[in-house]
Structure 1
């Protein structure tokens, strides 16, 4: 079993408010650098705990200046498919080409839910930092439908498709049933092709863990035969700070049987899984995961991995297989012994959220692999992420390091014009990117 090479001081889940705010503002001008922790077996440094105060550096929200937009590689054109949205987090393409956008944000915690991250001055400080980063807006709790009937890359039709949801995120259409992952449950509604609005109340399919809603986003994907859904549930804390009782059913991917409504734990130990995709060659389920914070600039690598049925990926007791996190008390060597390493590191603190596998509608260089929306770091001295990257695949596995595909989300002085979240291919094979700070959906297509 691998262990850190030097001891850590006791973990203290509180930060002095002034130091936190000062760290966020003073280092906002730090620029991106090549992140560590990339590859199938990246070298991992020893944990580096910054005394009592972790590194806090998040790019303040600036919004896009007029005439400025993200940049794509040569041979591609970027358009604002839709602008002026309200914190768009996720995108889903319907079979007729219509695009659904979940305009959503973190819901309030359930009554009585324990959350050390929200207590006292620390919680107030984090709230201020998140607001500065563009993440403090109330949730619109709706899904908006966008339609580009004339094919010019800009949606000329926009309608409220569903409203009064509960922090909706993932969406999946199976036959004539549209499934939506709220922060606390999967629900469904009947859908007919071409509908621009649904007013019927949704029906609950199954509950999902909620509680403090530290990681509130829930994503879903359907199995190939449409009989099952797979649902992501992030942890309720960084490293089980609220106790393991608050983490029941969390840091996991669940398999939901739609015929019976029953569910089972498909894989565990995944701190905050978000994007899901079926890899076209192997047909295996893959996900991207946000790993733990406060262990230094280059720990722990966020990752892209296939999801093995019944596997345990370490959280909270270990990371990248069996590297023990000494902060977690009490230790659990039996669970550490079961932990397996993920497939591919994306770099520390890049915050991967969106995942979409490409296809032959993209140019050859981008036809086999995964597009990943990286929301960007907050626990690193030099900003990293804040972009969409492409990871080439061969024979069902990553074959080369990530390369930037959509960039320019950071200003020269370290402010965020936007932050990528969900990614999806549209009906014509262009890439759609939800930008929750820029309040836009960007469309990237091969230039004619």
Structure 2
């Protein structure tokens, strides 16, 4: 780390780990995609084989797309000949040891941020340094300082990040429990655990932006008015059909979104049903199906999709793990009204969960490409798909 920060070589091998893109595994993924249903005019294709693919950051220069994982790799995905299929998938920054580098996001001026389990790094000009094993980097938050090490958990530590129009970095901090014990309340409120924090891009000025968030693994700013929207995963073990999943909207700093007093929507948790919720606690803009596991999301600002999709939200449902009848594994679309509130929500793409209750894939994140097409990650299959439209 010190050598990289000093712009010095580390001696890391130039023999990158790469992922084959033209073998039988890729061919079978393409075969499975025939089961996916979309509205008329849309089609889905395999963009890249990317092991453990989670959150997606499309480079603002259009050179390369970065993909995080819940393991130790960040992948650099390049379509060199611009045929809308990736030619190369290779390990990003092999000279850096990552721990659950799930959250990847770009600033408009080309800085890549990676939010790990308990660290945040930044990579200036990542789209151009990625060809080398050594990359320019900075520590936004040093390892062990994102959350107290006493709260460093294997559970709910897939962070996500975004850079807002205020040029501040926003990071979600899922709390480790299904429902946290009351004795954790003060510490979590102070640190922003079970919430969203924000800071200057160099890590200074850290503050808690929102609380009452159980485990958000997807957020994006509405470019029309600056509101921060985010998904949240509800409490487990309350039944197949409750509580609902959430799509939330933060209109200003300091708002509370109900957890753990509410397990999802307006459904009270057993553990906190006798306690008074915070005054003004906000209910979700959209209640999603219970246990569908709503994760990554993005606003659609492109021009290639029909008018009805422009300005709306695409979001990924990972699929249930503890529901008697599985649900989810699909892409949802939510329209956004002129006043900034949510309109209708409907299924946009489905078929990854077949009639036998078998998962053919588990979508994680969505991200818009510069050409207006939509990328979808899948950490079960280990792939990135591309959804495009033609009349």
Q: TM-score range by the shorter chain?
A: 0.7 to 0.9
1:71 aligns with 2:37: yes
Match of 1:179 among 113, 132, 143: 113
Match of 1:157 among 62, 67, 88: 88
Q: Report Cα offsets for 1:406-447 as digits up to 9, x if no partner.
A: 211012211111100011001111000000011110000113
Counterparts in 2 of 1:186 and 1:338: CA distance versus 1, 3 Å: same
Counterparts in 2 of 1:284 and 1:296: CA distance versus 1, 3 Å: same
Deviation at 1:158, TM superposition (A): 2.4
Counterparts in 2 of 1:259 and 1:185: CA distance versus 1, 3 Å: closer
Counterparts in 2 of 1:386 and 1:64: CA distance versus 1, 3 Å: farther
Long gaps (5+) in structure 1: 1-62, 106-138
Q: Distance in 2 between matches of 1:435 and 1:322?
A: 30
Report the RMSD for the aligned CA atoms in angstroms. Answer: 2.4
Deviation at 1:260, TM superposition (A): 6.0
1:382 aligns with 2:325: yes
1:203 aligns with 2:146: no
Q: Distance in 2 between matches of 1:270 and 1:285?
A: 13
The 5 A counterparts of 1:97-176 are 97-105=62-70, 139=71, 141-163=72-94, 164-174=97-107, 175-176=109-110
Equivalent in the alignment of 1:42: none
Deviation at 1:340, TM superposition (A): 2.3
Match of 2:48 among 82, 87, 92: 82
Counterparts in 2 of 1:413 and 1:319: CA distance versus 1, 3 Å: closer
Q: Give the length in aligned residue pairs.
A: 347
1:324 aligns with 2:268: yes
SS in 2 for 1:87: coil
Q: Distance in 1 between matches of 2:80 and 2:307?
A: 27
Counterparts in 2 of 1:242 and 1:411: CA distance versus 1, 3 Å: farther
Counterparts in 2 of 1:240 and 1:75: CA distance versus 1, 3 Å: same
Equivalent in the alignment of 2:290: 348
Q: Distance in 2 between matches of 1:376 and 1:427?
A: 28
Long gaps (5+) in structure 2: 1-26
Counterparts in 2 of 1:321 and 1:419: CA distance versus 1, 3 Å: closer
Deviation at 1:360, TM superposition (A): 4.0
Equivalent in the alignment of 2:341: 397
| Relative contact order higher in (CA < 8 Å, ≥ 6 apart) | 1
Q: Distance in 2 between matches of 1:193 and 1:439?
A: 22
Counterparts in 2 of 1:319 and 1:201: CA distance versus 1, 3 Å: same
SS in 2 for 1:68: helix
Equivalent in the alignment of 1:244: 184
Match of 2:364 among 418, 421, 432: 421
Matched-pair contact (CA < 8 Å) for 1:318–1:336: no
Q: Which moved more, 1:146-155 or 1:371-380?
A: 146-155
Counterparts in 2 of 1:192 and 1:439: CA distance versus 1, 3 Å: closer
Q: Distance in 1 between matches of 2:176 and 2:331?
A: 26
Equivalent in the alignment of 1:217: 158
Q: Distance in 2 between matches of 1:304 and 1:99?
A: 29
TM-score, scaled to structure 2: 0.82
